Amino acid sequence: MTMDDSYDAASIQVLEGLEAVRKRPGMYLGDPHDGSALHHCIWEVVDNSVDEHLAGHNNVVEVSLNPGGSLSVRDYGRGIPVDLHEEFGISAAEVIMTKLHAGGKFDNSSYKVSGGLHGVGVSAVNAVSEWMEVTIHRDGTIYRQRFEAGVRVTELETIGTCEDTGTTISFKPDTSIFTNITEFDFDQIDTRLKETSFLNAGLKIIISDDRGEDQHVSEHHYEGGLAEFVRQINSRRVPMHEDVIIIQGEKEIEKGPVTVELALQWSDAFSESILCYTNIIRNKDGGTHMSGLRGALTSSVNGYAKKNKLLKGDPLSGDDVREGLAAVVSLKHPDPSFSSQTKDKLVSSEVMGIVQTVVYEKLNEFFEENPSVAKMIVNKALLASKAREAARKARDLTRRKGVLEGGGLPGKLADCQSKDPKECEIYLVEGDSAGGSAKTGRDRRTQAILPLRGKILNVERQMHNIAKVFQNNEIQTMVRAFGAGVGNNSEEEGSFDTSKLRYHRLIIMTDADVDGAHIRTLMLTFLWRFMRPAITEGHVFIAQPPLYQVSKGKMSRYAFSDEERDEFIEDLKGDNPNAKIGVQRYKGLGEMNPEQLWETTMDPETRTMLRVTVKEAEETDRMFETLMGEDVPERRAFIERYAKEVTNLDI
């Protein structure tokens, strides 16, 4: 037996302390490669400051993005304890910074409610940081301690005196752990901390970006709380009722009280926007509080509609009831359980019943006291039901005619030979000319080509007439080719199902010009509105054809940016600054012959592709509404706001 084949006691590794976090950061903080874990480090540190606010000891949090890639979080709470911890023989501050599952939030004596309950938050951040410094103002004294890669490099030192209290934590992420995205995104931080301020009426959060020549400061301070939050969500929509509905309730459990606070308002939108939080922590995947809310909404609206004889026939579905709803549900729980350390989903089983009971009772009371608003909400749901039924009939009709799945593959599709979806990919190509080159140059075994003629329908402007969407020829062609259905309602038969995809990579390949960008955006809009799981589960890609061919004699290179073009030109000139270097700008895919298209854009060994990902579904929804919807002033305002940040303008 070789050494590689041996498996005995010596093969078993024990990762001590923070070493486990450095070895497997994804278990504690999320993906270290796509930016999610990088930014989750901030949330872990900020959440501790917010916990001090929840405990009644802090009203200001200051976040600073520093030159050199570090970040600082300052609060004015009680300050981390600095006295000796008897068990470990070191200060309580060092225990918190270096020991997993250590903190003051396990027994509810220091904090009644808290987002950080696992005790791995700041210590996990310390582990994945090149360095971290903690400065504590407490009992008139200033203390400081420094760590590197989670290891203490200085003792807890006294460095001065003070008249205030609080904690400052500064850290620089270790770029040997975080790859691809290693810089903090100000807009992402600003959005998250704005939500945090909304959820904590009276808490002021100041974010300053000091990395450039000009300091950028953003301040959030909202006395209106959840109601103001919902109004902000609906700021681009037309509310159906002026006042935001506020629901509050409390239920006692063994560990203490569970408090439910909810704000909701219906608008003329065609999608729902529901944000869920537990102890101020965003649960982007929802959980038991989301389930309780949905159940209560469906039961309450249907109950009122039947009682007042507004409903004839089948009950309204949950999707009908929630169409156009903006809601924020904030749960305070003494001992919540989450699906993972990143707290993306709440799994405390008792919460569903608590939320459902509170919302059902309070919403029924509101409907009885505000019948005009209740009728508007019911009528909105009835219209949604009729539109959904019309869309279903249109989809069923086209399916019976063989237009959608089950009716055979479209004639223009050049399918691949393999029948294994995991190794198959389909190129959605702009135009017949480029489609012809792609068909000739492709790997016929695994690559399918679907040419699309012209610009597909802008589905964002047809959400009120979904039947028209299913009648569009190019959309019908894509649905048939993919073979996975259409529609985001997982409860409805025939909706999009990634397990049925004929190709695991859907690759959008358009010209590198304005029209190509527009067609790509139209395709993404359709996929987001009617095949969302394809995006959220990572099946959608964007091909990156070259912008230039740079040549000298028989030598040629392909450049994918202006910078790369200039670099190649200088390289080919060599010692002869006067050499005639040929530069061809590719405005369309059709300008490349099949060999060039394969070599630059389709060869899996050499190509570059961008995977389409989603960080925040609600922000993505609002972006599609702004860019592709009917609100022209809103779109103009967006363009004017971000015009200076444009890096690739094709006029």
Identify residue 286 by its one-letter amino acid code: G
Q: Which residues of 35-53 are buried (b: 16+ CB within 10 A; e: fewer)?
A: bbbbbbbbbbbbbbbbbbb
Helix axis angle for 186-199 and 225-233, nearest 10°, is 140
Question: Considering the domain boundaries, does residue 374 fall inside one?
Answer: yes
- Co-location of 633 and 497 in the same domain: yes
Q: Are 80 and 134 in contact (CB under 8 A)?
A: yes
Question: Considering the domain boundaries, does residue 2 fall inside one?
Answer: no
Element (H, E) at 260: strand 256-266
Q: What whole-number distance in Å separates Cα of residue 435 and Cα of residue 72?
A: 52
Average pLDDT of span 236-249: 92
Is the pLDDT at 430 greater than 90? The verdict is: no
**What confidence score (pLDDT) does residue 101 get?**
61
Average pLDDT of span 371-388: 91
Average pLDDT of span 532-543: 94
Average pLDDT of span 152-166: 95
Average pLDDT of span 275-279: 92
Question: Considering the domain boundaries, does residue 3 fall inside one?
Answer: no
Question: Residue 15 — pLDDT band, cuts 50, 70, 90?
Answer: very low
At 316 the three-state DSSP class reads coil
First to last CA, the chain: 67
Element (H, E) at 142: strand 141-148
Of 344, 361, 388, the one marking the end of a domain is 388
Identify residue 34 by its one-letter amino acid code: D
Residue appearing with tokens 């249109």: 394
CATH number of the structural domain spanning residue 325: 3.30.230.10
Element (H, E) at 301: helix 288-307
Q: What whole-number distance in Å separates Cα of residue 223 and Cα of residue 213?
A: 33
Backbone angles phi, psi at 314, to 5 degrees: -70, 155
- Co-location of 56 and 111 in the same domain: yes
Identify residue 242 by its one-letter amino acid code: E
- Co-location of 489 and 557 in the same domain: no
- Co-location of 215 and 83 in the same domain: yes
Identify residue 199 by its one-letter amino acid code: L
The Cβ-side half-sphere exposure at 547, using a 13 Å CA radius, reads 13
Which residues, at least 6 apart from 447, have a Cβ–Cβ distance to it below 8 Å?
A: 416, 424, 425, 426, 427, 602
Torsion, Cα of 626, 220, 617, 328 (10° steps)? -110
Question: Considering the domain boundaries, does residue 282 fall inside one?
Answer: yes
Average pLDDT of span 387-406: 62
Residues annotated catalytic, as ranges: 430, 511, 513, 515
Question: Considering the domain boundaries, does residue 396 fall inside one?
Answer: no
Could you read off the pLDDT of 326-351 as tens digits, one per residue? 999 999 998 899 988 778 899 999 99
- Co-location of 78 and 113 in the same domain: yes
Domain that holds residue 511: 401-540+616-645
Tell me the average pLDDT of the chain.
86
Could you read off the pLDDT of 619-632 as tens digits, one per residue? 787 788 778 887 78
Is the pLDDT at 116 greater than 80? The verdict is: no
- Co-location of 262 and 358 in the same domain: yes
Question: Residue 394 — pLDDT band, cuts 50, 70, 90?
Answer: low
Identify residue 337 by its one-letter amino acid code: S
Question: Residue 579 — pLDDT band, cuts 50, 70, 90?
Answer: confident
Of all residues in the chain, the percent with pLDDT exceeding 90 is 49
Of 190, 220, 250, the one marking the end of a domain is 220
- What's the number of domains the chain is made of? 4
Is the pLDDT at 367 greater than 90? The verdict is: yes
- Co-location of 522 and 562 in the same domain: no
- Chain centre to alpha carbon of residue 207: 21
Q: Are 344 and 281 in contact (CB under 8 A)?
A: no
CATH number of the structural domain spanning residue 596: 3.30.1490.440
Average pLDDT of span 415-436: 91
Could you read off the pLDDT of 441-468 as tens digits, one per residue? 999 999 999 998 878 899 888 887 777 8
The Cβ-side half-sphere exposure at 623, using a 13 Å CA radius, reads 12
- Co-location of 418 and 378 in the same domain: no
- Residue 29's alpha-carbon distances to 100, 147, 500, in angstroms, are 13, 19, 32
Identify residue 624 by its one-letter amino acid code: F
Question: Residue 10 — pLDDT band, cuts 50, 70, 90?
Answer: very low
- Chain centre to alpha carbon of residue 157: 41
Question: Considering the domain boundaries, does residue 394 fall inside one?
Answer: no
Global pTM exceeds 0.95? no
**What confidence score (pLDDT) does residue 159 get?**
96
Could you read off the pLDDT of 468-479 as tens digits, one per residue? 888 888 888 898
**What confidence score (pLDDT) does residue 5 get?**
53
**Helix then strand then coil, % of the chain, to nearest 5:** 40, 20, 40
Question: Considering the domain boundaries, does residue 108 fall inside one?
Answer: yes
CATH number of the structural domain spanning residue 167: 3.30.565.10
- Co-location of 274 and 363 in the same domain: yes
- Co-location of 374 and 411 in the same domain: no
Backbone angles phi, psi at 483, to 5 degrees: 75, 20
Sign of CA dihedral 177, 178, 183, 187: negative
Specify the higher pLDDT residue, 213 or 76: 76
Element (H, E) at 327: strand 325-332
Q: What whole-number distance in Å separates Cα of residue 278 and Cα of residue 362?
A: 20
- Co-location of 202 and 335 in the same domain: no
**What confidence score (pLDDT) does residue 369 get?**
94
Q: Are 423 and 578 in contact (CB under 8 A)?
A: no
3-state SS of 203-255? CEEEEEECCCCCCEEEEECCCCHHHHHHHHHCCCCCECCCCCEEEEEEEEECC
Q: Whose CA is closest to 620, among 220, 188, 184?
A: 188
- Co-location of 53 and 148 in the same domain: yes
Question: Considering the domain boundaries, does residue 333 fall inside one?
Answer: yes
CATH number of the structural domain spanning residue 638: 3.40.50.670
Under DSSP, the state recorded for 291 is H
Element (H, E) at 61: strand 60-65
- Chain centre to alpha carbon of residue 546: 29
Question: Residue 120 — pLDDT band, cuts 50, 70, 90?
Answer: low
